[in-house]
Structure 1
Amino acid sequence: MTRTRHDLRHGWKFREDSSDPFLDLNELAVRSLADKKWTYKTQFSRPTELSSERPASTDLVFEGLDTFATVLLNGSQILKSDNMFVSHRVNVTTLLKDTNELEIHFDSAMLRGRELVEEHSHEHTFYVRQTEVSRVPVRKAQYNWGWDWGPILMTAGPWKPVYLEQYVARVDDVWAQCEVSEDLQTCSGKLLAKVSEANGQLVKLSLSLAGSIVFEKECAVDSSGIAETPIEITRPELWYPFTHGTQTRYELRATLGSHDTRSKMIGFRRAELTQQKDEFGKTFFFRINGNDVFCGGSCWIPADSFLSQIPEQRYRDWVKLLYDGNQNMVRVWGGGIYEHDTFFDACDELGIMVWQDFAFACASYPTYKSYLDSVEIEARQNIRRLRSHPSLIIWAGSNEDYQVQERYKLEYNYEDKDPQSWLKTSFPARYTYEYFLPKILSEEDRFAIYHPTSPWGDGKPTADPTVGDKHQWDIWHGAMNRYQEAFRLSARFISEFGMEAYPHLETTRGMITEEKQRYPGSMMMDFRNKAIDHERRLAAYVTENFTVKYDLPSYTHLTQIVQAEAMHFAYKTWRREWGQRKCGGVLVWQLNDCWPTMSWAVVDYHLVKKPAYYAIKNALKPLSIGISREYHDWTSGHVDPTASWKDTKFDLWVASDRTQPVQVDIAVRFISIRTGQEIRQPVALSSVTAHSNTTTEVLKNHEVTENINAGSSDIAGFDPYVIHATMAIGGHVVSSDTYWPQPFKYLDFDERKITIRKVGENKAVISAARPTKGFVFEETQGVELSDNGFDIIPGQDKAVKITGTDVQSLRYTYIGAPEGSIASSAP
């Protein structure tokens, strides 16, 4: 008979009540719960005995217990666990009664962590960035201790399914170890299955494509429970990121007689991390099936502070946002979890590449034996669970742990290649990242790509821009460079950077219930934002660039446009360097939030997109035009603040992900910001070849023939203008870009004369008599827009598709809008 499963999903009871920590200051009210012990109880009946020629076994399976758990069945202890990331299977065949009581006791992870720090203080010095040191020895999602974007909410309980499983024999796992040849013509290796209680039966291993079997073989099971067979596929259909091809997947199945079967959807691809010396240092980019791939995307944190309340559809919705936003990579950050199978399934289906950190972040982790033993089980289980996903491109050992090594000057001699000696230093975690984890990974998934940490560059300082990946925080943190200086801040692969912004007003009003607290700088607004020095940093970027209004709607809008502009400059500038393979990818910190807040997220907790999301979407189009001018400082010392108005040169380029060259037509217009009139003849470039998978430099230091602002020293005599470029194929505009004189606060945005008309049932067409910056519809839950946070250029109407609401109900604003216009609705 086949294996059966009985979920223990209902009937649980547990102690302690609390308020909703996502509202107001309630996080403070529930913090004391972190010190509590918790007990979960449920009752269940003995499952009906399987009818079989052999006695059936019954296992109690715990896919995840968070974190220090003691499990009792009918009063007898059957399990102790101290690792949130590990699953457990306990044979309870002889322990079951007609009616059974299951009881799980959870100790406080906060208090146990403090005890472990004290217990092991003689052998390890615990250093930590972000919240308290008690998180370091605990194998639990580190963000539960709070982070600079999330609350301190210590969870305890069964966070993944608990169920009874009955079987006579079972298939534990099925997977493929195959490599695609360099010429992509063959895929060879072996298929494997791990089985229990096979008792001499054969296992049938099969591979199917679109319902047709392409390989099938019956295999014997060896003494360790492994069945395997060699396989070679000629001219395999391959899996590609969506920007470069299709997402073909095969069904791999293992069948153990009539007792059990298990199948997975898998994909074949040849993935390489290319690190070669060049004129800039050493490259860092990915090559998939022989194609160099620019990775544009986001970093990912857990989608909720309470993981068990994330439904599968919500995971799919998040991944769909990546796809819709032209983002082909997501980096799963090490302070969270090894993500849900549904998350990876969605990435497989949609062609999103995944960078997965092991679960270590911003600390100096210990290496005492019991700790490493637990880490080994954790690593092996999660590698086995995830290794069949073609979307999983790279594993990294940790997040920013080598920055902790640098900050506290812990011992690190890159020339020392003896792993045992590393254990005796003040930075023993090097053993974990440079020896232990890569060894385990190579044993469990021999073709996987591994990177010791993020950021990392072959032993060089983590801030080195010439090698490896870099977390570029000199925008926002560090030197607080202006986002207009992105061209100075490039690296071989930028795996983190970001800029904060408020969410849309609906989210703010939902998370702060007291109307009197809904203003920038209120106690509740400040408490909600966990970023260190957030108010002075965000205010600096806003005031440097815009005329500031401090009411909540206006300030919300300004922060959103600052964030969108930072994304525009960064993605456009760094993607431009793909042409020389100088920059191999850009991943914003961060895509999402784990609770309603203001943060670096470009989409808020409720999946409502900020304008920055659309700025990234437009910068990552398959064909994207870019325009830039020389950077001119405007407030440092004795600089000329009108310099950007007088500049007469600009660059123009096209970035392409396409696999073939394409002919495009380009038009460049010069439009007065004050009058909306064209101040000189446009530049028309016909049949320009945009080369494949690279950057095509179209104009370099192109001189505008006349300079209407050159001779003036009186502000009234200046006529600043935008340079607006469009790129068309067959008369259809596929991309545009606008360069504005910087900063915006020096420009006159009066009387933009905005017109909005409804076309059909779900389209708004927006036009303006004068160049308009930062037009934003106020998005709400359930509303979908094709674009937002855009510029409007005279003579070029902007069409926006809208679903989930009527055009007339949308509220909007823009830079220079009259007071209170956020409440304006489209006619």
Structure 2
Amino acid sequence: MVAESVSRLLTDWSFTQVGGGTGTKDGEWLGVSEFPTSVHVELLKLKRIPDPFIGLHEWDVQWVGEADWAFKSTFTVSEEELSSSNVDLVFDGLDTFATVTLNGQTILTTTNQFLGHRVPVKSALKVGENVLVLNFESAFLKGRDVEKANQKYVLWNGDSSRLHVRKAQYNYGWDWGPVLMTTGPWKPISLHSYTTRISDLDIRSQVSEDLSVKLSAKISSSDTQSATAVFTLEKPGGGVEVEKEVVIEGGSAELALEWASGKLDLWYPVGYGEQPLYTVTVKLNDKNGTLLDSKSLRIAFRRALVVQDKLIDEPGLTFLFEINNVRIFCGGSNWIPADSFLTTITPERYRDWLKLLVDGNQNMIRVWGGGIYEHDAFYDIADELGILVWQDFMFGCGQYPAYDTFVESVTEEAVQNVKRLRHHPSVVIFAGNNEDYQVAESFKLDLDYNDETSDFRKTTFPARFIYERVLPGVVKAYSDIYYHRGSPYSGFGKPTTDRTYGDIHQWNVWHGTQEPWHNWDILSGRFVSEFGMQGYPNIRTVDYWFGGDTSERFPQSRSNVNHNKADGFERRLELYLMENFKHAFDIESYVYYTQIMQAETLAAAYRLWRRNWGGRGRELTSGALVWQINDCWPVTSWAIVDYFLRPKPAYFSIARELRPFTVGMTRKESTTFSNDRSAAQFTIETKLEIWGTNSTLSPKKVVLAVAAFDLESEWTHEWEQDVTLNPNSSTELFSGALPGQPVRTKKSEVPRTIIVSARLLDEDRIVIGRYSNWPEPFKFIHFPSPEALGLQVVVGADGESVTLSTKKPVKGIVLDVEGDDAQWSDQAIDLVPGDPQTIRAIGLNGRQINLRYLGDGTA
């Protein structure tokens, strides 16, 4: 009999279209190229379907999601394996409606993509060859049947039947994603032979206010007989911190350990400290000392709180994250699945994405509720890099049901995923859903925010039972992580649009009232967990979806329209473009202008909201998470990095606003009438305000260097002053008249085009923060000719250092090369005289650099 637990992956698989059809002939089984996998991935590699990411081909593959498919594995089982006390088949994830047979015997039916399943199969196995078949019904057709048998509910995005199907909701199409209904074994399948296994390892760490640490471990075994478990805590750099042996009785054992403050290394978000990771290993032995099973988890120690405190002289409460007694301004992004075909996302791709986040000075990522609970690698890498994770449960933009079978399924889904994620130090909040309370408000469903006692299942918003009863109960029972009912959610009897409580999704730029982006300061909230602006991706990505069809290479082509899924996107893009820019309409210009608009819009949001981080009791805005960092296919969307991991200019403008030290400015006009009767007698004054931010925990002495330029003359004005930036907050630095701008008495008096540059200089006069404030809208500016600018580009001896300098202020410089893109360290650059900027261009390889900027003559 085998004593030690042995698990092996089943890797030899083939697939077929049930009954035959466009994908395979009847009875034709095709070997898979990889495993786990999905049908689209295999058909693409076999060239049996066109690439749905190109042109209009998305619509040529819709039949795939409405067909039934089967996967088959023939595997050999040895006598030794069958001699084990237990033999299980472990299915980590099946997408979605599957019937599983082993040697012709049905062993499992599934209805939830987010669930794993463990099935005892010893009695169904035989020594020698065994056949495992997974039969997948069309999730779309099955969902339509389930909806018809129950009720049709309201929603935003996708087909209404998705609300009844526990499947990644974005597969049904979203306002940034295609309709691609995947199916197949999307996670590993393994055969597990064992005598006794560790069925659960629950590790909880509590860090008190004085930063002392308590660690508890609960070990559960599948066997109720006596055994021993050796618990080991390994230090981040190797070596054993503690080793304990405990007795397993009645199938479980518990262990509690304590350390005084400073004895263990604490985990901090990126920018605030290190990310030491400890390893817990539990080895389960029988009474003779024979190893039965082992399990390891990588953990860390940190105190994570969501703080909702009163503010000084402001209504409402804070909504902020505090880690190890340090209040954190969370500058980050929303995350959608990084591919329409989930099985193609490797740990390396996850690392590339999350490294981009950190390199962009971001410290939080929100896993959005219309995708998936991400793979373990995602959270492992977030732990390593110090990224805080806001984790939604998988409900998005809908009036979800709450009938018994649905609630039973989502309860198990929540239990499994909370257990899987609870040990990650990066995960600091669970949120019940994405925008479902907003859907309820929009459609006027039953929603009394002051009702804290009802069951809700008989109302028109039945899923409140899930968000306010089921999920908080699961999170509390199986973790110590903070639970928030939804995103956005205000609490305290307030609607989701209340800007003084909880988090908000601020979509009154782009959606809603379509405000100017300059109004971000009056559109702030306590924590802005969504906001955004669209921008075209890299021109190479645009050309990819044309697929070589040059006749489609213009902004209004069918291919371009199919690669922007947002309702009314043409009107909204053009609304914001026309209000702010003089722009041309060729594809290169359209890409450039939408990218610069996105960069300006998003940078303004982070700049103005960081100003609201004013120190303890004045944390008016505690976080800003842009919608979104990534795409699931090549598309024009709100993403700041496109599908191929090519950053848009907005990525860099955000990175500048999230540096440890930044400087910001606003200019505002004030009109004063001579008396309350006259409309003709008035003065217009322009006021300039300057502030700085410091995300470090120590005061920072810097020099504020300000220079003002008249774009249409040689007039300049400069001054400097020593200032101290308060720790972990913003500091107001200047308020006064805009230099060089006369007081006006008539609206026909055109204001001078004054550009103001502000820089923060450290003790060595190194620039540690800079920003140039330009008069807006940019469409009114008479830009100098390219010849008058004196713009110079000099490549250093290393071939990768690029220094930019100018004799006149320049706005919105984007650099590019022919052929494969270089890896630029900065983009969307504003340049002023006397302040040259040097950027890196990895992969430049001696190629000529092409520049685009506002007023470059291409408009």
Do the structures match in fold with TM over 0.5? yes
SS in 2 for 1:65: coil
Match of 2:856 in 1: 817
| Displacement after TM superposition at 1:461 (Å) | 1.3
- Conserved? CA contact 1:667–1:727, under 8 Å: yes
Question: How far off its partner does 1:360 sit?
Answer: 0.2
The DSSP-based 3-state class of the residue aligned with 1:165 is strand
Q: Which residue of 1 aligns with 2:342?
A: 307
Number of the residue aligned with 2:464: 430
| Mapped pair 1:164 → 2:191 | yes
Provide the residue aligned with 1:203 in structure 2.
229
Is 1:289–2:324 an aligned residue pair? yes
| 2:260 alignment partner in structure 1 | 234
Q: 2:693 aligns with which of 655, 658, 665?
A: 655
Q: 1: distance between equivalents of 2:669 and 2:75?
A: 69
Give CA deviations for 1:545-571 in whole Å, capped at 9, x if unaligned: 110100000110000000000011100
From the superposition, tell whether residues 178 and 156 of structure 1 become closer, same or farther in structure 2 (CA, over 3 Å): same
1:23 to 50, 54, 57: 54
> Aligned to 1:526, what secondary structure does the other structure show?
helix
Aligned counterparts, 1:566-577, within 5 A: 566-577=601-612
Deviation at 1:433, TM superposition (A): 0.6
2:419 equivalent to 1:389: no
Query: Quick check: 1:764–1:807 contact (8 Å CA) kept in 2?
Result: no
Q: Distance in 1 between matches of 2:727 and 2:203?
A: 33
Q: Does residue 712 of structure 2 align to residue 671 of structure 1? A: no
Q: 2:170: which partner in 1?
A: 143
**Offset at 1:99?**
1.1
Q: Deviations over 1:671-721 (max 9, x none)?
A: 12234x4x24312012x1111001111112x22465357478777x86412
Q: What is the rounded CA distance, in whole Å, between the counterparts of 2:476 and 2:835 in structure 1?
A: 55
Q: Which of 701, 709, 719 is residue 683 of structure 1 equivalent to?
A: 719
Aligned partner (choices 86, 109, 117) of residue 139 of structure 2: 109
Secondary structure in 2 matching 1:66: coil
Aligned-pair Cα RMSD in Å: 2.1
Q: Secondary structure at the match of 2:372?
A: coil
- Counterpart position of 2:155: 128
Give the structure-2-normalised TM-score.
0.90
* 2:556 is aligned with 1:521: yes
**CA separation of 1:777/1:226 partners in 2, compared to 1, >3 Å: closer, same or farther?**
farther
Cα distance in structure 1, aligned partners of 2:732 and 2:64: 59
Name the CA shift for 1:274/1:805 in 2 (closer, same or farther; >3 Å). Answer: same
Map 1:314-713 to 2 at 5 A: 314-420=349-455, 422-445=456-479, 447-458=480-491, 459-513=493-547, 514-579=549-614, 580-630=618-668, 647-675=685-713, 677=714, 679-686=715-722, 688-700=723-735, 702-704=736-738, 706-708=740-742, 710=744
**Would you say the 8 A contact 2:741–2:751 is kept in 1?**
no
Residue segments in structure 2 that go unaligned for 5+ positions in a row: 18-22, 24-47, 286-290, 672-678
> What residue is the counterpart of 1:9 in the other structure?
11
Aligned-pair distance for 1:268? 1.1
Q: Which moved more, 1:68-77 or 1:91-100?
A: 91-100
Equivalence for 1:789: 828
In structure 1, C-alpha distance between the alignment counterparts of 2:273 and 2:136, rounded to whole Å: 47
Structure 1 residue 127, shift from structure 2 partner: 1.5
The corresponding residue for 1:220 is 247
For residue 63 of structure 2, what is the aligned residue in structure 1? 32
Question: What one-letter code is carried by the residue in structure 2 that aligns with 1:126?
Answer: Y
Query: Aligned equivalents of 1:704 and 1:36: distance in 2?
Result: 66
CA distance in 2, matches of 1:187, 1:155: 45
- Cα distance, 1:47–1:789 mapped onto 2, change above 3 Å: farther
Q: CA 1:338/1:781 → structure 2, altered by over 3 Å: closer, same or farther?
A: farther
Letter in 2 for 1:78: I
Letter in 1 for 2:666: S
1:43 to 74, 83, 86: 74
Match of 1:824 in 2: none
SS in 1 for 2:582: coil
Distance 1:805 1:42 in 2: 48
**Partner residue, 2:774:** 740
CA pair 705-748 structure 1, distance change in 2 beyond 3 A: closer
AA matched with 2:335: W
**1:775 CA drift (Å):** 0.6
- TM-aligned CA distance change 1:818 to 1:798, over 3 Å: same
Which whole-Å CA distance do the structure 1 matches of 2:699 and 2:332 have between them?
24
Structure 2 counterpart of 1:365, one-letter code: Y
Answer yes or no: is the 8 Å Cα contact 2:708–2:739 preserved in 1.
no
Distance 1:12 1:782 in 2: 39
* Corresponding pairs, count: 797
Q: Could you tell me which residue of structure 2 aligns to residue 265 of structure 1?
A: 298
Q: After superposition, what is the alpha-carbon deviation per residue over 1:95-140, rounded to whole angstroms, capped at 9, x for unaligned? A: 223112211111111111111111112xxx5121112110001000
CA 1:504–1:68 in 2, change beyond 3 Å: closer, same or farther? same
Residue 94 of structure 2 is matched in structure 1 by 65
Amino acid at match of 1:754: L
> 2: distance between equivalents of 1:331 and 1:518?
34
Amino acid at match of 2:117: H
The answer on 1:95 being equivalent to 2:124 is yes
User: Could you tell me which amino acid in structure 1 is paired with residue 571 of structure 2?
Assistant: R
Normalized against structure 1, the TM-score is what?
0.93
Task: Note the C-alpha offset of 1:463.
Answer: 1.0
Matched AA of 1:92: V
SS at match of 2:123: coil
Q: Secondary structure at the match of 1:136?
A: helix
On the 8 A contact 1:355/1:393 being kept in 2, the answer is: yes
Matched-pair contact (CA < 8 Å) for 1:361–1:399: yes
Which region of structure 1 is more displaced relative to structure 2, 603-612 or 231-240?
Answer: 231-240
Tell me which residue corresponds to 1:636.
Answer: none
Deviations 1:120-169 (A, max 9, x none): 12xxx512111211000100010000000000000010011112222233
**CA distance in structure 2 between the aligned counterparts of 1:487 and 1:529, rounded to whole angstroms:** 28
Shift of 1:656: 1.2
Counterpart amino acid of residue 515 in structure 2: N
Moved over 6 A (4+): 711-715, 779-782
Q: Is the contact between residue 174 and residue 253 of structure 1 (CA under 8 Å) also seen in structure 2?
A: no
CA 1:194–1:804: 2 relative to 1, 3 Å: farther
1:406, CA displacement in angstroms?
0.7
Asked whether the equivalents of residues 301 and 593 of structure 1 are also in contact (C-alpha less than 8 Å), the reply is: yes
Calculate percent identity across the aligned residue pairs: 40
Unaligned ranges ≥5, structure 1: 634-639, 821-827
Moved more, 42-51 or 753-762: 42-51
Distance change >3 Å, CA 669–CA 416, structure 1 → 2 = same
1:775 equivalenced with 2:805 (yes/no) = no
Deviations 1:477-521 (A, max 9, x none): 011101111111111110000000000110000111211101111
1:755: which partner in 2?
Answer: 792
Rounded to whole Å, the distance in 2 between the matches of 1:593 and 1:524 is 17
Task: Tell me by how many angstroms 1:214 deviates.
Answer: 1.9
Cα 1:559–1:704 change in 2 (3 A) is closer
Deviations 1:300-348 (A, max 9, x none): 0000001011111000111101110011000000000101111101110
Alignment deviations for residues 574-625 of structure 1 (CA, whole Å, 9 cap, x no partner): 1100112000100000010000000000000000000000111000111111
Moved more, 622-631 or 318-327: 622-631
